[in-house]
Amino acid sequence: MPRSSERPAAGTPLLQVRDMAVEFRTVDGTVHAVEGVDIDLAAGETLAIVGESGSGKSTTAMAVIGLLPGNGRVTKGSILFEGENLVGAPESVMRQVRGRSIGLVPQDPMSNLNPVAKIGTQVAETLLAHGLATRKDVDRKVVETLEAAGLPDAAARAKQYPHEFSGGMRQRALIAIGLACNPKLLIADEPTSALDVTVQKTILDQLDRMTSETGTSVMLITHDLGLAAERASRVVVMHRGRIVEQGPARQILEDPQQPYTQALVKAAPSVAAVRLRPEAFRRAEKTDAAGPAAPAASAPVVVNEPAAPGEPAAPGEQGVETAPDHIVEVEGLTKTYPVRGQKEDFVAVKDVSFAIPRGQTVAIVGESGSGKTTTARMMLKVVEPTSGTISFDGVDVSTLKGRALKDFRQKVQPIFQDPYSSLNPMFTIERLIEEPLEFYRRGSSAERTKRVRRLLDDVALPASMMRRYPSELSGGQRQRVAIARALALSPELIVCDEPVSALDVLVQDQVLRLLRDLQSEYGLSYLFISHDLAVVRLISDYVCVMKDGHLVEAASGEEIFTNPRDPYTRRLLASIPGNELDIAV
């Protein structure tokens, strides 16, 4: 099945999927993952497939490129690519199709990059295998490919291993490999879910350029309807293996017909953020040209100004407001790391100061490498600061030892980003939640079991989950278990490090609502770390913006999102997916 290198004229059929069904054979029987799928994709078109986890969108994409797992197969229908049916095609033919004609950007960078091969070597393998480079010029083309995917200092990065990259950088390396052969069709499976908004915009702009300049078609798999509507001309909505709705992107977003699509639109953080943003902010990027704003001082987040001596405090009364009750105060926080082979240390966090009001949420946002996660780790006393202080309930955390340190760790609990790796797969759900109670000798065995049942009820999980293992739960259920475990010791502060970035929008919405409800019920304080400003817009009371280890702006969430002072903050906000959409409120 030879493939022509010439691209079909824009608008002509490139991919036609007809009545496709996919099933998987498991020890528990046959799973019908996809049923009756019909999709048309024209040359030069970007089509988005949206839906929650398990809807069949990734299975559909993997069937197109012939990369279903060994127990999966297409049982019915056809997949026509340039008029030729790929269903049942021999593997020798599919190897010619993959990479050169149909490229793939998979979702998980850790499991799709060889951990013992340098990044440049892995890009070079693709270029050499398809005859797009020679041994003589391959190094130059590797650098060009990595630069096109948005990797800074590409020549140096090409000599590094995947473990030396951040999550976002690893995803960019995968994107570079997917784009290396300039394919006619690029399947992008959640290509930007691990990336911060500015890099996300860079990558998506690159995909747009491919479509317009080279005629490359894009099949974009995503859970974000705002992103889909902004980047795709048409949207296909899948639910439980079937297409429930499809049509022009804007029409689907503004006038969804099916209840499931309506639920997706309502839950999408980027869509909600656009609805909340005033019209003035939609022009923030344009007003940036008028000149830079005065830089924000790296001062603690101030909730209210203290009343003048001798005057009564009246919250809400202009000019006479109460001083805030801060559970955490951070002053001049700095963290440096020695770099092998270099005289100067790497400064991860530099002179950062802020405060967390009791019972409220402070978010730290910024690009990958901005220092936000390092700050969170210092807050948890997992990483010791090089200089500066962190005060918790008025006590300098650096002075805590022995029993005092043990008490601190009970009062400050984390919720980690990945619900798949943060739970011990060998423990039942009951043991996972009970473990901190047992470690700190809280109650008898019967009392701890009762506490676990109550915690599961708090996070809206049935008691029947207690005997299950993490592998038997969905991603959203696992994250709820992680939240229940964090609540077990009745903490005062929870450090949430990207707690919803691994979840689809419906589950994101559920978890964010849960966090808000728990905060209201128990008076919890949150430090919320995220690269997703749309999510931050929905949950934060106050926002700290970090860049290159520095705090560039700190203010209330409303002030940050409606009147950002720093040009960097304005660039971040202008990069939110769906930012350019005009959506009727």
pLDDT value at 99 more than 90: no
* Closest residue by Cα to residue 443 from 428, 427, 458, 455: 455
The pLDDT value given to residue 577: 74
The per-residue pLDDT for range 177-206, each reduced to its tens digit, is: 887 888 889 998 887 766 777 777 877 887
- Reported as a pLDDT band with limits 50, 70 and 90, residue 287 is very low
SS3 (DSSP) at 159: coil
Query: Looking at residues 442-461, what average pLDDT do you find?
Result: 92
Highest mean pLDDT among 76-90, 104-118, 162-176, 460-474: 76-90
Query: Looking at residues 320-336, what average pLDDT do you find?
Result: 81
Token pair listed for 236: 């296909």
pLDDT value at 90 more than 60: yes
- The DSSP code sequence of 388-439 is EEEEETTEEGGG--HHHHHHHHHHEEEE-S-TTTSS-TTS-HHHHHHHHHHH
pLDDT value at 39 more than 90: yes
- Eight-class DSSP state of 306: P
Q: Which numeric CATH code is attached to 1-101+217-260?
A: 3.40.50.300
- Contact 362/376 with Cβ under 8 angstroms? no
Q: Distance between CA 279 and CA 521 in Å, rounded?
A: 34
Q: Distance between CA 459 and CA 488 in Å, rounded?
A: 12
Total residues belonging to the chain: 585
- Higher-pLDDT residue of 82, 111: 82
Distance of CA 542 to the CA centre of its chain: 20
**pLDDT, averaged across the chain:** 83
The pLDDT value given to residue 298: 39
pLDDT value at 75 more than 60: yes
The pLDDT value given to residue 3: 53
Of 2-6, 262-266, 301-305, where does mean pLDDT reach its minimum?
301-305
- Reported as a pLDDT band with limits 50, 70 and 90, residue 5 is low
pLDDT value at 478 more than 80: yes
Place of tokens 């019909």: 38
The pLDDT value given to residue 583: 53
Of 61-65, 382-386, 548-552, 561-565, where does mean pLDDT reach its minimum?
561-565
- Eight-class DSSP state of 199: H
- Contact 149/120 with Cβ under 8 angstroms? no
What are the contacts of 82-91 at 24+ separation with CB within 8 A? 82/3, 82/4, 82/8, 82/14, 82/184, 83/13, 84/1, 89/1, 91/66
Q: List phi, psi (to 5°) of 236.
A: -115, 125
* Closest residue by Cα to residue 457 from 478, 476, 480, 474: 480
pLDDT value at 506 more than 90: no
The pLDDT value given to residue 281: 39
pLDDT value at 288 more than 50: no
The pLDDT value given to residue 582: 58
Cα angle 349, 351, 353 (rounded to 5 degrees) comes to: 105
Q: Distance between CA 226 and CA 253 in Å, rounded?
A: 8
Q: Where are the domains of the chain?
A: 1-101+217-260
pLDDT value at 302 more than 60: no
pLDDT value at 275 more than 90: no
Inter-CA distances, 104 with 92, 130, 178, 189, 519, Å: 18, 15, 5, 8, 41
Of 37-41, 164-168, 394-398, where does mean pLDDT reach its minimum?
164-168
Query: Looking at residues 218-223, what average pLDDT do you find?
Result: 89
Q: What percent of the chain has pLDDT over 70?
A: 85
- Eight-class DSSP state of 182: -
pLDDT value at 469 more than 70: yes
* Closest residue by Cα to residue 452 from 461, 31, 576: 461
The pLDDT value given to residue 270: 66
The pLDDT value given to residue 301: 52
pTM, full prediction: 0.74
Q: What percent of the chain has pLDDT over 90?
A: 44
The pLDDT value given to residue 354: 95
pLDDT value at 475 more than 70: yes
- Higher-pLDDT residue of 170, 501: 170
The pLDDT value given to residue 167: 67
- Contact 459/481 with Cβ under 8 angstroms? yes
- Reported as a pLDDT band with limits 50, 70 and 90, residue 9 is low
Token pair listed for 477: 């259920």
- Reported as a pLDDT band with limits 50, 70 and 90, residue 6 is low
- Reported as a pLDDT band with limits 50, 70 and 90, residue 503 is confident
Hey, which bits of 323-386 come out as E strands?
326-337, 346-357, 361-365
Neighbours of 318 (CB within 10 A): 6
Query: Looking at residues 290-308, what average pLDDT do you find?
Result: 39
- Higher-pLDDT residue of 213, 321: 213
The pLDDT value given to residue 319: 40
The pLDDT value given to residue 194: 61
Inter-CA distances, 563 with 277, 285, 555, Å: 10, 12, 10
* Closest residue by Cα to residue 237 from 46, 365, 49, 107: 49
Torsion of the alpha carbons at 5, 9, 10 and 16, rounded to the nearest 10 = -70
Of 207-216, 312-321, 500-509, where does mean pLDDT reach its minimum?
312-321
The pLDDT value given to residue 318: 38
